[in-house]
Amino acid sequence: MAGIHKIEHIPHDITPAAAIQLLKDGNYRFVNNLKMNRDLLEQVNATKDDQWPFAAILSCMDSRTSAELIFDLGLGDIFSIRIAGNVVSPNVLGSLEFATAVAGSKLIVVLGHTSCGAIKGACDNVELGNLSKLLEQIKPAVQQETTFKENRTGKNASFVNEVARLNVHHTVDEIITGSEIVANLLDSGAIDIVPAMYDIATGEVEFYQSVGNTRNAEVAVGMSN
């Protein structure tokens, strides 16, 4: 079946907007316990020679945030990149470049989550071996959060979740500035990038405005001035 995703019948030329909608639909199924019936062994066979992931999701390593589960996806549907605090590194950037420029994924999602241990560690200035270097990458989001004047610690759930929200936006910026390849694909409209937050208490994912939509809005405002 040429040009068709072998598992979910997702066209290879799916648009970034349609890719976002697929994830929203999958999360709706997950939250409402409407899991799609899949034959995983059949999917193993269908993907043994190639893969056609429509999106790359950079998420936290937290055991409760598996992207394939919370978006009700099957084998071969997405690239899943997991690291504490969903932070960027050269290896992460290289993986995203492979996903978009080589494998043809149409969407990058940076997925944070509530009650994130890495965010708490950054808020509390935790120092522990190599983890200290990772947490330093979250510190800009801690500094950007200015609404909480007191109790700016990992014990303040509201503060932690707001830092986590700012952190996904910061990570999106880091991806764009750190990878010319991804930035060019974004500017051409070939891909989109969207920050999002997963609520570990409800299972719901909140999608923020995609970078493509934001840039289009800025261009429209500029043309009207």
How far is the C-alpha of 23 from the C-alpha of 156, rounded, in Å?
30
Tell me what pLDDT residue 5 has: 39
- Tell me the C-alpha distance between 143 and 223, whole Å: 34
- List CB contacts of 38: < 8 A, sequence separation 6 or more: 7, 74
Task: Give every CB contact of residue 13 below 8 A, 6+ residues apart in sequence.
Answer: 3
What pLDDT shows up at residue 130?
A: 97
pTM above 0.95, yes or no: no
Which domains, ranges and CATH numbers included, belong to the chain? 16-217 (3.40.1050.10)
Q: What is the pLDDT of residue 13?
A: 84
As a whole number of angstroms, the distance between CA 22 and CA 14 comes to 10
Residues 6+ positions from 47 with CB-CB distance below 8 Å: 6, 7, 75, 76
**Positions of the chain with pLDDT under 50:** 1-8
The answer to whether residues 74 and 30 touch, using CB atoms and an 8 Å cutoff, is no
d(CA 209, CA 2): 33
How far, in Å, CA of 42 to CA of 38, rounded? 8
pLDDT of residue 1: 31
- Please state, in angstroms and rounded to a whole number, the distance separating the CA atoms of residues 210 and 13: 19
What's the pLDDT at 216? 65
